[in-house]
Amino acid sequence: MNQSFALYRTIWRWHFYAGLFVVPMVLVLALSGSLYLFKPQIERWEERAFRSLPVAETVSPDAQGEAALSAFPGARLHSYRLPEREGDAALVHIALPGGKGMRDVFVSPQGKVLGSLDPDKRIIAIDRAVHGQLLLGKRGSWIVELAASWGIVMILTGLYLWWPRGRGAAGVIYPRLTRGPQAFWRDLHAVTGFWVSGLALVLLVTGLPWASVWGSAFKAVRTEMGWVKGKQDWTIGGRAADADDHAGHDHAAMMAGAGAMHAMPGMTHDHAGGPTPVSLTEIVAEARSRHMAWPVIVMPPGAPGAFGAKPSSAWIVKADTQNRLLGETFTFDARTGAQRSHETFADKHPIDRVVGYGISWHEGALFGWVNQLIGVMTALMLVTLAVGGFVLWWRRKPGGVLGAPPLPAVPARKRGMAAIALVLAAFLPLLALSMAAMLVIERLVLLRIAPAARWLGLVRTV
């Protein structure tokens, strides 16, 4: 057996084991990610009863905020979202008393409370929790990051197995449809993998800054190297980058600061309890005059930010759009209303801008509906790849064994593979830990148990 065949079979085993773990996650992440691509459309549909309302006899944002708080006695204001169009309701985001959660309260232009939604139970909030954390919190974030790391291995090894090696386009660029079921499933898997590999790698790599371990390490490196300018606007493991290490994630962390807030911070008192002449209405008027990309969020002094971000001593006005290129943030003095700062995408560090492009692409917001369409096509191809791989394995699998590609009789030379593995491990910390654990378990445990070794295909064959 020559070395090229031994290397091929070894890489095939890595591809098989990567796929074994990644395929179920591919289905979950592809489907949940596809839904998230349409966040703006889904949220507009969810809020359809609070849009296109009469515009006669409108009241001020102050009155709208007071109406929302009056409907939930003891509640605290966290933010005010400007209506997208004239006649749409304002969204007043409040913390319920006693740590009982958050509410999105919709108030008509006339100051009437039309209804409320639990933000944690909204479609996109649930979908985001599934996509980023599998509804398991930090542990789920680790699993997703581990799956993304092995997904990169699966794609790279798959491309090696796909490499034409002198073959024509049939079965390489397009599937052969007249060669029987086995060739069809093999070609469907290989060809789809080729076409989707670049897009999938972009999705996996652009998702890493959000991941708990990788994102934290990336933040530490950037801080150490002085590559930080302004506030990081993406979460790490479901929490804001500047969140308190002991706070919970999402709205649980936001609740931690609610007790220190007054009923309407910034409208009658500032975060320290002193008088302030600046009202919500004045800040909303400033926000409207800036013509920012929607949704535009106004946060009063002392209000905790989203995903556990630390409170600010100033009014914050933020264009919270998924397209990071259009994002901008203003801060206004709590006592005078004077503008303190203005940050746009162009003001960020180059690394943050690169990440911003990647996140906007990942969320389907960079090129509008074209980006969404490409995202859906990528997800469909990934599902096809996963299903095709499963069927291919099931058809080939002998009875009584896992069906992993058997080890070659002559071990492949390890230098090249070791170098590639080290590069990947240095870039992906969870991959390094899992690979080390697999090797230790295989060498010290599985190889010593003959039935397990045979079932896993660890016995070398010709």
Domain spans of the chain? 3-37+138-208+369-456, 51-119
Nearest-10 Cα torsion for 417, 420, 423, 427 = -110
Asked if the model's pLDDT at residue 358 lies above 70, the reply is yes
- Report the share of the chain in percent with pLDDT over 70: 89
- Better-predicted residue by pLDDT, 259 or 220: 220
The pLDDT of residue 442 is above 80? yes
- What is the CATH architecture assignment of 51-119? Roll (3.10)
pLDDT at 39 > cutoff 70 = yes
Instruction: Judge whether 94 and 68 are in contact, CB under 8 Å.
Output: yes
Q: Are 105 and 71 in contact (CB under 8 A)?
A: yes
Model confidence band, residue 416 (pLDDT cutoffs 50, 70, 90): low
What's the whole-number average pLDDT of the chain?
A: 88
**Type of residue numbered 143:** I
Query: How much is the average pLDDT of 34-38?
Result: 97
For 237-248, what is the mean pLDDT? 67
Write down the pLDDT at residue 254: 39
Taking residues 341-352, report their average pLDDT: 94
Q: Which two tokens stand for residue 189?
A: 């898997």
What's the pLDDT score for residue 244? 57
Band (pLDDT 50/70/90 cuts) for residue 248 is very low
- Least confident range from 45-54, 201-210, 394-403: namely 394-403
How far, in Å, CA of 462 to CA of 459, rounded?
10
Residue type, 192: T
Strand extents, DSSP E, 34-170: 76-81, 90-95, 102-107, 113-117
pLDDT number for residue 190: 93
Say how many C-beta atoms besides its own lie within 10 A of residue 350's C-beta. Answer: 9
SS (H, E, C) 339-371: EEEEEEHHHCCHHHHHHHHHHHHHCCCCCCHHH
DSSP lists the bridge partners of residue 330 as 317, 342
- pLDDT bracket for residue 263 (50, 70, 90): very low
Question: Is the pLDDT assigned to residue 452 strictly greater than 50?
Answer: yes
Instruction: For residue 414, name the pLDDT band (cuts at 50, 70, 90).
Output: low
For 425, how many CA atoms within 13 A lie in the half-sphere containing its CB? 12
The larger pLDDT score, comparing residue 398 to residue 296, is at: 296
Rounded to an integer, the average pLDDT of 96-103 is 94
